[in-house]
Structure 1
Amino acid sequence: MKELKPIIIPERFEYMDQYIKENPKLFPEGFPVNCLLHKGKTGCGGTEMVLNNERNTIIAVPTKDLIKNKIEPNAQRKERRDYILGVMEGIEEYQIMNYIEQYKVKKIMVTYDSLPKVIKIIAAKGGNAYEDYFLLVDEYHRLFLDNLFRDNAVRNLLNEAIKFKSVTFMTATPVDEIFIMEELKYLPVQEIIWEGKKRVDVKVIRTNSVMEQVLSHIGFGMGIAVPEAQNLHFFVNSVSFIASVIKKQQLTPNLARIVCSNTGENKKKLGEEFEISTTSSPVKKFNFYTSTVFEGSDILDENGYTIVVSDGNTSSRIIDISTSMKQICGRIRNSKYKYRVDYICPYSKTLDQPFDEYLAYTLEEMDKTQKWVERINNLEEENRKWEINIMRKGLDQTYIRINESSSMLEVDKNKYMLDLYNYKKRCELLGKDWDVKSNLIYNDYIVSEITSVTHEKTPSINLLAKGKVRKCFKDYFEEYAMLKERREKENTISFHFSRMFNLQEERHQVLEREYPLVKDAYEKLGVDKVRNMKYKTSNIKRELKKLANLPDSKIVIDYIKKRYSLPCQLEVSTWKEILDNIYHVELGLDECTKAKATDLNKWFVTEYGYIKKEKVTTDVMTVIREKSIIEGQDLMNDIE
């Protein structure tokens, strides 16, 4: 990729517009255009600059919350809906048309998903968005990070963006060059270096229990250890985690504010007592944020102290140092503690696969997939369409997609790079203290200290009965139903019984984690229907498959990927037990169906080896990554 000469902004400048106004010859269009703009720091006013200049502009952002943050009032400005149009839910086409007619200078903020719609409406009103508007794709690193879940939205935005005469992809926190999307590599990189940039001082707290450490921080915050005027702002990308913290600490709405995506599922997790807030709502003693506001949002709290919570249980909970954490450190714009951050993360851990080896496996898998796709695409048209139609239902389109217009297969290399990125995050998070410190220093932080804190873990409840007695689906389902009913009554129980209900909630979560079929049957079919079906798992699974429309292979893959961070090395016998559980509990197959660890070779890239424990050699298997192509017929269909 081509890199332009860096723009070096002297110390006396705090915002981009201050420097650009003094150097207009460097920016003929009033802003760096037709580039990947790495603006160097958060809060430097890049988005504000294009919102306030005299040029027709479309700003594409990753979330509707970011749009709300920019147009809603706060302590520093009035509401701006009168001249900035935010295209999100509730905005009809006629409102967009009326806005285009009414305003001479147009400022339209859209989510990535909405850009094509706005372009069409501009054309319907006789305009040409590609010629008449400047397009700013803000927080463009999210195009890569969200690609797995918003594939169509990302692809449609990229297809439209390249048609604009003037377009800039901007971020304060670019990903490494290897992870920049293939579709963006035609643009040069324009870096901004701020001579007066102040470094953030990070206190790293490594612990055996991230949850207990967060509870400890809140406990101190409620006591005399934290100044009364200091408010704690927790950035943790999990609503379930936040809900657990609130329950365990018995936090009330007057003490806690939660800012996350306003969805029915999140409301259900938080309960009726707590409402989902916005960044412009009143600050409270304890404030919790998910990734919906990690980028671009303005949080105002002079007494706000930032605490970043990075949990290695899933890739979405890892707050990586090079990208997400840089964004978070700039969120509280006016805090007296702006340059101090606590970073809570797990103890170091020896990973089952070094990053270099995982990289090699991934590149090999991508190469195999590319050759397979080329073989299919090189068939005669009639044979190619016939092959693709046969595989259409069972094809896992995570890494391979069907181009409907050409009836050709395409490999999505960005998805492979996202796998690498997520594993790189895990390697960085779980590295030794020196590795974490080096990574922070490399990313321009000051590391004031690294401390280790051990918490006594609450004894977990054994899910499976000891001995040879095996509980059946009916037992698990009825227990889960009972816990759900008790949970609804929890608010009426006195405070003195709260610990008992914490234990019930723990059991409730264990059941959900280990036996998703129980949860799905309860939520999607209901208690009465399951009882009428005599708890027969094959019938339950068949009904759920009708609702979910998922192939069996996907169920197996999703089950393992959700519960085990890949690459994952376990004894061969353990993998067999896991598959046995999937076959008989999740899929409801007959007891005569036998699971073999080698079944995993169908869905995953695996590696066999052995380890020695107390002079005894034990066979192990490392499940490295998901395969792009499922070989042969679907195993689950064969079994059924």
Structure 2
Amino acid sequence: MTEIPVNCLFNKKKTGCGATELAIRNSIPTLIAMPYVALVKNKTVCRTDDIEVLGVYEDITEWDITQFARTHSPLKIATTYDSLPRVVSALQSIGIDPYKELFLLVDEWHVLFNSYSFRHRAIRELLATAARFDRATYMTATPIEREYMLEELRHLPTCEIDCPDLTEVKVRSRQTNKPDKYIVSECVKVLRDELPYNLHIFVNSVEFIAKVIDTLKLAPEAVKIVCSTSGDSRQENQRKLGNAYPIGQPSDPAKKINFYTSTCFEGCDIFDPDGVTFIVSDGRKAHTLLDISTLFTQICGRIRDSRYKTQIVHVYSTTKYSKAVTLDEFVAATQRTLADAEKFASDINAVDEPSREKLLKKIPYINEQYVRIADNRLIVEKNLANMDIVNFKISRHIYATYVNLTDELQRNGYKVTVQTYSKVVEHLAANPTARTTFRELFDEYCRLKTMTEQFFVVESPAELCAVIEQRHPLVKQAYDKLGTAKVQALKYHVGNIRRELVKGLSIGDDYKIVKMINDAFQKQTPIAKNKAKERLQEIYDTLGLQRKAKATDLAQ
């Protein structure tokens, strides 16, 4: 393959396959539009070869663009989505017609959809500009499902690479109520050299990163942080992190602990042979929940040379949204709202233009979902309706339960390995004095005991069992000496279990009786004579002794 297919939606299927590099290295004059500054820099100023590609973002001027264009052939320019129109304008100012002379490659086009709700003006402008190119292709390894695709792209055919040797990726799903605390615990292990790898943590929240580094009191030199620096983001993100923690680039050398926000989720090249990918989805923060078919898959391919790249750890908490509305019900409701919006727009647009112009000027704002004003007409935004459906699907369906999330991962080709998450143990760790029944502890202990030690990151079943053993030593004794079936037959009754354990000891009957009495009677507490005889008789019966309990027996 020597060039990218033209005028299509190009599904390269595999991240890191070299398709963007192909567009950079071939002899075709090419303009590449990318979603983030970090990605543009990754393919331009951070290159380690002698290929010259101009990166265009907010600090690059029209003079920089024109000077580069005059002195380089074939022309290769990588620009952010937002800067595409001004690159076109700059080239036109020196007599270059980019629409006819350059090939436009819109890289990571799934971001156009994922970002549409909060960058819709910039994205609409990019789409309008791209439509004027004679040769334009939209490329990604993770395309949006066609039913939710942007309206402006639906007419394009799909072209796919045939990749029969796609690598199977195993996902260890680690559910937790407190993702930040779990990440802190893993960081501690790495800092103590208890783990043989480095952590590369992908989480779309600078606040989350700041909380973790503050909890750990990390030295700035021990951590690498890559987040957005475009516009006002640099100042705001630096404020959240603190001035001691510099914002780095994806290509910076790896540290033991590395954090990345969404600016690095697509297209960036990270190198660390000892790097393990952690993806964090916090159910309390909707912007950290990732679409499995797009962003999740993109992140899996970021560390290019890791010996662990077929293993991913997904740390997540489920969402707390009401389950009263199902996904199907929400889709139906959204479609009804969209139909109402289309009728409203049609009725207004049917009015003659002078009257419509006066009417729209008198309306302070359009109180109708999915409708906007453009050139004195109402435009219905089907893209926003699709965004609402996908966001609902992610936050209130996929991440609502472990089962839904596992199904979605498997539907997208991931192999999900058995988790060792323990709600009981996490509850004990969060609140050591919490009230927990013997039955809860024993059943959880039995579940963990049947699990095998797998993978290299999530707490092992043995570690989780040790927490239960420390909290209630009787659990281990009962499991080892009596077994699950016997404990269940005893209906988890602690007193009966203790007596059964004593009964099995290799000591004389009199010693067993004394031990059972110590367990049965509270010290320094008066007890009625008849009650004492009843308890003693129960002990005799448990031991299979043919005796009748008498008050005088207690004196002995």
Place the TM-score, normalised by the shorter chain, in its bin: 0.7 to 0.9
Q: How do residues 163-562 of structure 1 correspond to structure 2 at under 5 angstroms?
A: 163-227=132-196, 230-262=197-229, 263-347=234-318, 351-391=323-363, 393-395=364-366, 399-403=370-374, 406-454=375-423, 455-456=426-427
User: Which of 9, 29, 43 does residue 56 from structure 1 map onto?
Assistant: 29
Partner of residue 492, structure 1: none
Tell me if structure 2 keeps the 8 A contact 1:73–1:79: no
> How many pairs does the alignment contain?
423
User: Which of 138, 152, 164 does residue 107 from structure 2 map onto?
Assistant: 138
RMSD: 1.8
The 2-side partners of 1:193 and 1:315 are apart by 35
User: Which of 93, 99, 120 does residue 89 from structure 2 map onto?
Assistant: 120
The 2-side partners of 1:348 and 1:384 are apart by 45
Match of 1:71, SS state, is: coil
Tell me if structure 2 keeps the 8 A contact 1:318–1:429: no
Tell me if structure 2 keeps the 8 A contact 1:346–1:429: no
Q: How do residues 63-82 of structure 1 correspond to structure 2 at under 5 angstroms?
A: 63-73=36-46, 77-78=48-49, 80=51
The 1-side partners of 2:323 and 2:421 are apart by 19
**Unmatched 5+ stretches in structure 1:** 1-19, 22-29, 460-640
For structure 1, which segment, 34-43 or 120-129, has the greater mean C-alpha deviation from structure 2 after superposition?
A: 120-129
Tell me if structure 2 keeps the 8 A contact 1:240–1:269: yes
- Residue 379 of structure 1: how far off its partner (Å): 1.6
Residues 360, 144 of structure 1: alpha-carbon distance in 2 compared, 3 angstrom cutoff:
same
Deviation string, structure 1 residues 513-535 (Cα, Å, up to 9, x no partner): xxxxxxxxxxxxxxxxxxxxxxx
The 1-side partners of 2:396 and 2:388 are apart by 12
Task: Please state if 1:155 is matched with 2:124.
Answer: yes
Match of 1:233, SS state, is: strand
- Residue 220 of structure 1: how far off its partner (Å): 2.2
- Residue 128 of structure 1: how far off its partner (Å): 1.3
Partner of residue 456, structure 2: none
Tell me if structure 1 keeps the 8 A contact 2:337–2:369: no
For structure 1, which segment, 167-176 or 117-126, has the greater mean C-alpha deviation from structure 2 after superposition?
A: 117-126
- Residue 397 of structure 1: how far off its partner (Å): 8.6
- Residue 431 of structure 1: how far off its partner (Å): 4.1
Partner of residue 528, structure 2: none
User: Which of 16, 41, 60 does residue 43 from structure 1 map onto?
Assistant: 16
- Residue 224 of structure 1: how far off its partner (Å): 4.6
The 1-side partners of 2:143 and 2:134 are apart by 23
Deviation string, structure 1 residues 350-399 (Cα, Å, up to 9, x no partner): 623210011111111111111111111112222211221122x4336972
Deviation string, structure 1 residues 426-458 (Cα, Å, up to 9, x no partner): 244434433322222221111122232433486
The 2-side partners of 1:155 and 1:131 are apart by 21
The 1-side partners of 2:266 and 2:318 are apart by 27
The 2-side partners of 1:285 and 1:54 are apart by 40
TM-score norm. by structure 2 comes to 0.73
TM-score norm. by structure 1 comes to 0.64
- Residue 78 of structure 1: how far off its partner (Å): 3.5
Residues 363, 399 of structure 1: alpha-carbon distance in 2 compared, 3 angstrom cutoff:
same
Partner of residue 77, structure 2: 108
Point out the structure with the larger strand share.
Answer: 1
Tell me if structure 2 keeps the 8 A contact 1:300–1:334: yes
The 2-side partners of 1:297 and 1:397 are apart by 39
Alignment-mate amino acid for residue 167 of structure 2? K
Alignment-mate amino acid for residue 61 of structure 1? M
Q: Rg bigger for which structure?
A: 2
Tell me if structure 2 keeps the 8 A contact 1:34–1:167: yes
The 1-side partners of 2:403 and 2:37 are apart by 39
Tell me if structure 1 keeps the 8 A contact 2:58–2:83: no
Deviation string, structure 1 residues 499-521 (Cα, Å, up to 9, x no partner): xxxxxxxxxxxxxxxxxxxxxxx
The 2-side partners of 1:93 and 1:244 are apart by 40
Alignment-mate amino acid for residue 58 of structure 2? E
- Residue 162 of structure 1: how far off its partner (Å): 1.4
Tell me if structure 1 keeps the 8 A contact 2:146–2:154: no
Residues 355, 253 of structure 1: alpha-carbon distance in 2 compared, 3 angstrom cutoff:
same
The 2-side partners of 1:150 and 1:397 are apart by 20
Percent identical among aligned pairs is 38
- Residue 103 of structure 1: how far off its partner (Å): 1.3
- Residue 334 of structure 1: how far off its partner (Å): 0.5
The 1-side partners of 2:206 and 2:50 are apart by 29
Tell me if structure 1 keeps the 8 A contact 2:210–2:240: yes
Tell me if structure 1 keeps the 8 A contact 2:272–2:306: yes
- Residue 96 of structure 1: how far off its partner (Å): 1.1
Partner of residue 493, structure 2: none
Partner of residue 517, structure 2: none
The 1-side partners of 2:241 and 2:79 are apart by 28
Task: Please state if 1:87 is matched with 2:59.
Answer: no
Residues 131, 295 of structure 1: alpha-carbon distance in 2 compared, 3 angstrom cutoff:
same
The 2-side partners of 1:177 and 1:427 are apart by 21
The 1-side partners of 2:344 and 2:430 are apart by 50
Alignment-mate amino acid for residue 325 of structure 1? F
The 2-side partners of 1:99 and 1:126 are apart by 14
